[in-house]
Amino acid sequence: MKRRDFIRKSLSAGLITGTALSFGGYGKIFANSVFSGLPYDLVAVKDGEPDKMLDKALQALGGIQNFVKKGQTVVVKPNIGWDVTPERAANTNPLLIKRIVEHCYTAGAKEVYVFDNTCDNWSSCYKNSGIERATKDAGGKIAPGHSESYYQQVSVSKGKNLKDAKVHELILNSDVFINAPVLKSHGSAKLTITMKNLMGIVWDRRYWHRNDLNQCIADFSTYRKPDLNIVDAYNVMTRNGPRGVSKADVLKMQYLIVSTDMVAADAAAAKIFGMEPEDVKYIQIANEMGIGQMDLSKLNIGRIKV
């Protein structure tokens, strides 16, 4: 049996508690109450619906007002890359996106935009992912990302392979940037999580694939770090990513990871998936570049079981 198939079957049976659920054995798996007022570096929530888990995570981090202020413009970047329904877990859960937008307006945001530079037809992706309707129902605004005219050239001064990129104008002009990827398998990068999700805010992604994808992912993560990273691991595509083939590729795991540190969020998400952070090359590179911390034992983690 292949390792990934073994992991998937073991997760379904609840067997890999040490690796997949406890973040490598750092303390107890989950406590019933973690609201001790500590300044958490990362919050992990499990066993709830996406919107309710977000509520718990933000409460543990002191509320959305710690990240969004009255009158600010917010851009939310989910994964909306694929023209598939939510059950395929190729895109971020629409219920989570709706709740993110609602929280931003509760904090007094002036405008909340949601966009992605999609792989499939952008209007079909927005509609069939459920994210367009979820965004509008929450009062947010859907923005297109399919034309080069929306992107402006910027310098990636700390990059090694990636020295510049064309970045969507919403990222350049908004006050707050919330990164909201879905955790899933990826054929080239092994996993899609927070740093990989940033490929959806740039125009020319082909350059990245031709010039060491993992290094370029890490390089671009030095450009502008999101103000908040929210990892959707409710339904997880365990194989055939990034698009997936069918619902048979998807495992219901019911996790949410929230952190200001992309490297930490990706490390924790990799653990949930059943991999070590160093097995995902761009996480290792980003850690070595000082972008964030992948050693979870050095972090103050809030673990919440709904």
Spell out the domains of the chain, with CATH numbers in brackets. Answer: 3-305 (3.40.50.11440)
pLDDT at 36: 47
pLDDT, one tens digit for every residue, the chain (306 residues)? 444 454 444 444 333 233 333 433 322 323 333 444 568 999 999 999 999 999 999 999 999 999 999 999 999 999 999 999 999 999 999 999 999 999 999 999 999 999 999 999 999 999 999 999 999 999 999 999 999 999 999 999 999 999 999 999 999 999 999 999 999 999 999 999 999 999 999 999 999 999 999 999 999 999 999 999 999 999 999 999 999 999 999 999 999 999 999 999 999 999 999 999 999 999 999 999 999 999 999 999 999 999
pLDDT at 52: 98
Place of tokens 């595509």: 237
Task: Evaluate whether 121 touches 175 at the Cβ level (below 8 Å).
Answer: no
> Exposed, middle or buried: residue 289 (CB in 10 Å: 0-12, 13-18, 19+)?
middle
pLDDT at 38: 62
